[in-house]
Amino acid sequence: MDEAITVGKHRRKVKLQPVDLARLLALLVFGFLMISPFILILSISFDRTANVTLPYPPRFLPAHPSLFNYRLIFQNGGLLQAYVNSFIVAVASVIVKVSSALLAGYAFSKGKFKGKRVIFLVFLATLMVPVESRLISLYLMWNHVHLINTFWPLILPNMIDAFLVFLAKQFFDELPDSFREAAQIDGAGEFRTFLKVYLPLAGPITATMAILSFMWSWNDFLWPLIVLTSTKLHTIPLYMASFTLQNGESYAGMTMAALALGSIPVLILFIFLQKYVIRSVALSGLKGE
């Protein structure tokens, strides 16, 4: 008992060292620099005069706060439809992309077949091919099957994502092969082993891939701009771009208000799943060592 009291007193006497204070100050500064663009977005969105002229120098608090820009966004009537379109595309993309990445990652990690390493390296090499170099061929292909101006060109190409497959493989590499061997001894097939043994353990990496997939799909602009010609099918990024005038200028206040509203789903998803993201990094082979 006396030893516990002594330890408690020693703990209360511990003070932050100058090095710790310097690190804390550096983290606060970098954290503020990271979040400052979001603060400016909110500030401009609440500035009634931002559609006429941007405040200069930039300020973190609007001179005359107002909900004027948000009222204009809701009166415009296109925000709700853009939300629905983005949700359809993003949720379908997450399901398709994460499912295929988990299956492929398990196959490259635990599967036994000839040329596995070479195939995986070729698969990773596709990451070096810019998306822009494939846009023309992709457009011609989807136009040939008459699926332009539909959501299918935004969903089906997401079935293959080399980066997510790499993440899944790295995670499954950390899980012991003895699980697979035990399941096979019990008579389980390969797919059942994946479904019943490894998939329940893949919650952290699944959440990480879901966040990344949702964010990429939600924020995608160039490819939807090419394949979606109807304004009724526009996603959130295309809806925000609609506030740009023909002379290149934009309604900054309305654009920032739409941007703030469009960022809410991604923020909510990250808040609820962030613990799984941290756990997946700790358990995968991406640890900073």
Domains and their CATH numbers in the chain:
2-69 (no CATH), 77-283 (1.10.3720.10)
Can you tell me the distance from the alpha carbon of 144 to that of 189, in angstroms, rounded to the nearest whole number? 40
Runs of H (alpha helix) within the chain: 2-13, 18-45, 68-76, 79-110, 116-125, 135-144, 152-155, 162-173, 178-185, 190-193, 203-219, 222-227, 236-241, 252-283
Identify which has the larger pLDDT, 64 or 142: 142
pLDDT confidence of residue 140: 92
pLDDT confidence of residue 277: 67
Per-residue pLDDT tens digits for 92-137: 999 999 999 999 999 998 888 888 889 899 888 888 888 888 888 8
Can you tell me the distance from the alpha carbon of 238 to that of 225, in angstroms, rounded to the nearest whole number? 7
247 Rama sector, left if φ>0, alpha if ψ -120 to 50, beta otherwise? alpha
pLDDT confidence of residue 97: 92
Q: Does residue 288 carry a pLDDT above 60? A: no
Closest residue by Cα to residue 83 from 266, 237, 242, 236: 236
- Residue 236 Cα distances to 8, 71, 239, angstroms: 54, 17, 5
- Residue 40 Cα distances to 45, 53, 67, 257, 287, angstroms: 8, 15, 16, 11, 33
pLDDT confidence of residue 285: 46
Buried (b) or exposed (e) across 170-182, using 16+ Cβ within 10 A?
A: bbbeebeeeebee
Q: Does residue 84 carry a pLDDT above 80? A: yes
Contact, 99 vs 158, CB < 8 A? no
For the entire predicted model, the pTM comes to: 0.77
Per-residue pLDDT tens digits for 174-194: 888 888 888 888 888 888 888
For 73, the token pair is: 């966004």
How many CB atoms are located within 10 Å of the residue 122 CB? 11
Q: Does residue 2 carry a pLDDT above 70? A: no
Contact, 35 vs 28, CB < 8 A? no
Residues 6+ apart with CB under 8 A from 208: 167, 273, 276, 277, 280, 281
Closest residue by Cα to residue 76 from 208, 261, 247: 261
pLDDT confidence of residue 93: 92
Angle between helices 203-219 and 252-283 (to 10 degrees): 160
